Each structure stands twice: as C-alpha cells, then as structure tokens.
Amino acid sequence: MKKGLIAIIIFTGIASVAIGQTRDTTLKLKPLKTFVSGTSIVKKALYKAFRVIQQDYYLIGDEGVPFGRGNQQYFGRHYGIGVVAKNVLWTEKQVLYPWLTDKSYKVLAADSLKPTQGKTQTAYFHYNYHACNCKYKELKGIKFDSIPLNNIAYYKLPGETPSVKLHEGEIPKLGIMVMFYTIDNEPMNGSTPVKMSITKQYVDWNDARTIGKLKKIKLPGKIIGGAFFSENFEMGTVGYHLAALYGRATNNPNQWVLTAFQNKFTSKLTVIKTITGKEGNRKKRRRKRRGRRNN
C-alpha cells in the first residue's frame, strides 16, 4: 500500500512538472545593450526633427519681369533635407539657392536674368512610409539666409517649433549619422519615396573640425541629405544634439562632406602653424645677418 502511494505521489509530481514546463510563458527579452542601441529607437527620437524641403525659384529680367518655365510659376524646383534646431530649419546652401546646382540655369547665367527665391514648402518626414506621402505646406513670411564661409543655410521658422538642441563644446569624432536617400536615381519630385539610414560613424575632421569626411557608405540609392548628432548622456536619458550638416561640397557638388556648426568653443579654435627644421634654420640665419648689419 505504501509503495503504491509513493508511486502515485512520484507520478503526480512528474506530471505537474511536465505541465508546468508546457505552460511556461516566461517572456524572453533581448539583451539590454541591443535594446538600447536599436536604430528604431533613435529613429523615433529624431525623425520628427527632419523636413523635406521643396524650394522654387524664378528669374527676373532687367525691367523686373519674372520668368518661369513651361507655364509654371517657377523656373526651377529643388528638393532637399532640413533639420529643425533652436527654432531654425537648417539645410545646405544648394537647397536655399537651387540655381547653384541647376544645369538649366547655368546656360542662362551669362544673360541679364537674375535668380530669385520663390515659394518654399516643407513636409514632415515619416520613416515608416513606403512612399513619400508628403503633404507640403508653404512657409510664408519667413526670413532666410546663409552662413558665410561654409555650406550652411537656414530658414527662421515662425513661432515656437519643437526642435533638437545644437551641440556645445568640441565637435566629436564619433556620433550618430542620419542619412536620407532615394531608391530611384532620377531627379527627385514631390512623390519620390525617401528612405532614412542611421549608423554610428567616426568622422575624419580637418584640424579646425569644421569640415569632415565619412568612410564610404554603401546605400541602395541616391543621397539627398543628412546630419550628424552627438550623443549626450544624462541620468536616465540620452540626448542627440545637432553637430553638423551633411551636404555637397562647395567646390565639388559630386562630393558630400559634413559641415560643423560653429559654437563658442569651436569658433575660438585656430590652426597652429608648425615650423619645420629648415624654416627654423632660415629664420636664424636671417637674424644673424640682420645683427651683423646693425653692428
């Protein structure tokens, strides 16, 4: 009797363990490191700061008569990417001044027709859209300008606009690189699908950390813009601050470079000119000669 009772208890225990194993609904989470560094989280944190810009321009003759093309209200139209920081929409000069890269205008550049900014429209970027699905809205009564001696231009937005912060301090070598591209190599239009790529990149800056280059990044399409962000860690939070814009080089439209924002720290940086041994010896000889002449 006791042996039978013991057998029943053992069988019941084994059965309960087996049932417990089959009903185990423990949630297996991914490692915390992978979860925090996921690109989807960075996309959700940054994509609302970007805009797709549609910039028109037209030509004006000597008598102030405006000229368009093809019965349109504009002569040329250009698309680009901008990012909102400190209530300003930052972009590259080729977006604000489309005629800089418009081959059609270069044919007429020698004439007396002068290019002038036309209508400016922007659309929010949505990273999960397969098509652009862009609903453009005109920016009216805005001020725009460009920063001398670099490739950065801007539109000053009306009112308080949610935006990211500008980076302060030394421009970092390692940060978050956000790039936008189109699958089709044809000229961009209002319905062209725009894709977003986020990677962590090391930047090869010049000595003053004003112009930087990236390693070759293979994207399945045509680059249309981007930005470089610094990572700023505080207790319980991570902040991404705008440090540089990704645009076409001023002297070479086919080359893309990073142009850093100048702040109180970087604006005081100057390149130290090193003196080679030969130059130092020459200066010493000149001083000796001057000393002999004076004597």
Residue 250: Cβ-neighbour burial (10 angstroms; 0-12, 13-18, 19+): middle
Q: What is the pLDDT of residue 230?
A: 94
> pLDDT digit string (tens) for 34-64?
333 456 788 888 988 999 999 999 999 888 8
Confidence of residue 138 (pLDDT cuts 50, 70, 90): very high
SS (H, E, C) the chain: CHHHHHHHHHHHHHHHHHHHHHCCCCCCCCCHHHHHCCHHHHHHHHHHHEEEEEEEEEEECCCCCEECCCCCCCCEEEEEEEEEECCEEEEEHHHHCHHHCCHHHHHHCCCCCEEEEEEEEEEECCCCCCCCCCCCEECCCCEEEECCCCCEEEEECCCCCCCECECCCCCCCEEEEEEEEECCCCCCCCCCCEEEEEEEEECEECCCCCEEECCCCCCCCEEEEEEEEEEEEECCEEEEEEEEEEEECCCCCCCEEEEECCCCCHHHCCCCCCCCHHHHHHHHHHHHHHHHHHC
Mean per-residue pLDDT of the chain: 79
Q: What is the pLDDT of residue 189?
A: 82
**pLDDT of 252 over the 80 cut:** yes
> pLDDT digit string (tens) for 185-235?
777 888 888 888 899 999 999 988 899 999 878 888 889 999 999 999 888
Q: Quick check: pTM over 0.85?
A: no
Q: What is the pLDDT of residue 18?
A: 46
Q: What is the pLDDT of residue 32?
A: 36
Q: Choose between 31 and 82: higher pLDDT.
A: 82
Confidence of residue 71 (pLDDT cuts 50, 70, 90): confident
Of 12-21, 229-238, 277-286, the poorest mean pLDDT is in 12-21
> pLDDT digit string (tens) for 78-129?
999 999 998 899 999 999 999 988 888 877 766 778 899 999 999 988 766 5
**pLDDT of 276 over the 70 cut:** no
Return d(Cα 281, Cα 37) in angstroms, integer.
54
Percent of the chain with pLDDT over 90: 35
Structural domains present in the chain? 39-268 (2.40.10.10)
**pLDDT of 248 over the 70 cut:** yes
Q: What is the pLDDT of residue 284?
A: 65
